[in-house]
């Protein structure tokens, strides 16, 4: 499979508005981070989007994404769903609706935030995304691939990570329940939330993410959802072998 990182930043993005810190003013393009999302192309080349980040349009243009066969949501915070309206362009290109999966709470939140998608009486002026929203009740079969939902903690909330074969994507994570670790057995490549060095109530610190990666036993590890506290080059230089910060536009084969 092929994984493309569309965005690797926090809900603020990097650079942050009005910030003049070294990371926000960096000339290293890896320090420019849009809101978090990945595109996974499965073994049969089916493109599956995880989250419709706020910057979806910009991400699609920058990386020449013209097709999305399915969408998996991790949770319903704004930085993970607010690009949903841009899906209508993929509808036009593909000539049909796109199936989406979310947990029950996130599905309810999406229906409320984007009520006009589901209300047949809503005005259709500029076009409306066509999606088929399903509630996750187990592994999701997309083409020839099976995506396994992995419950994780995001502060007091339970949200979803996703596993495909020996790859897992766990963003916005502050902890993994004991009964979710068996769902990660055998994972060889993983993406983990690593907000910053200082503790945060709803996200892993970098050290916590490193410790979690070691417990899981993945050989290849990328970190995402980084704040401006973590400059790319300097942070990667202090990480253990096999671990690195992801960056927008990074493409990896798993």
Q: How far is it, in rounded angstroms, from Cα 104 to Cα 194? A: 26
pLDDT beyond 80 at 66:
yes
State the average pLDDT over residues 233-245.
Answer: 98
Domain containing 48 equals 2-253
pLDDT at 236 over 80: yes
What's the whole-number mean pLDDT along residues 196-219? 98
Contact present, 193 and 172 (Cβ < 8 Å) = yes
Q: What is the pLDDT of residues 97-152, one digit of tens each?
A: 999 999 999 999 999 999 999 998 888 777 899 999 999 999 999 999 999 999 99
Please give the Cα distance from 23 to 154 (Å, whole number). Answer: 25
pLDDT of residue 120: 85
Summary mean pLDDT of the chain: 97
Question: 16-20: which pairs have CB atoms within 8 A and are 24 or more residues apart?
Answer: 16/228, 19/228
- Which domain CATH number covers 236? 3.60.15.10
Indicate yes or no: pTM above 0.95: yes
Say how many domains are in the chain.
Answer: 1
Kindly state the average pLDDT of the residues 76-90: 98
Task: Tell me the average pLDDT across 52-78.
Answer: 98
Contact 101, 72 (CB under 8 A): yes
């Amino acid at each position: 499979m092929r994984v493309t990182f569309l965005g690797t930043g926090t809900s603020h993005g990097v650079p942050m508005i009005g910030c003049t810190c070294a990371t926000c003013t960096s000339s290293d393009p890896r320090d420019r981070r849009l809101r978090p999302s990945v595109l996974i192309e499965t073994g049969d080349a089916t493109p599956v989007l995880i989250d419709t980040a706020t910057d979806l349009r910009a991400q699609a243009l920058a990386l020449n994404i013209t097709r999305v066969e399915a969408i998996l949501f991790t949770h319903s915070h704004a930085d993970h769903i607010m690009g949903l309206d841009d899906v209508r362009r993929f509808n036009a290109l593909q000539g049909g609706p796109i199936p989406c999966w979310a947990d029950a709470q996130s599905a309810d939140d999406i229906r409320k935030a984007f009520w006009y998608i589901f209300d047949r009486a809503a005005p259709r002026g500029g076009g409306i995304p066509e999606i088929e929203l399903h509630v996750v009740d187990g592994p999701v079969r997309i083409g020839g691939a099976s995506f396994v939902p992995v419950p994780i903690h995001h502060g007091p909330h339970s949200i979803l990570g996703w596993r495909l074969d020996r790859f897992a994507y766990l963003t916005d994570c502050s902890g993994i329940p004991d009964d979710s670790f068996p769902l990660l057995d055998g994972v060889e490549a993983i993406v983990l939330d690593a907000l910053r060095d200082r503790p945060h109530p709803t996200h892993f610190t970098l050290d916590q993410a490193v410790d979690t990666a070691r417990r899981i036993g993945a050989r290849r590890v990328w970190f995402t959802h980084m704040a401006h506290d973590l400059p790319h080059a300097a942070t990667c230089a202090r990480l253990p072998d096999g671990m690195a910060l992801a960056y927008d536009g990074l493409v990896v084969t798993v």
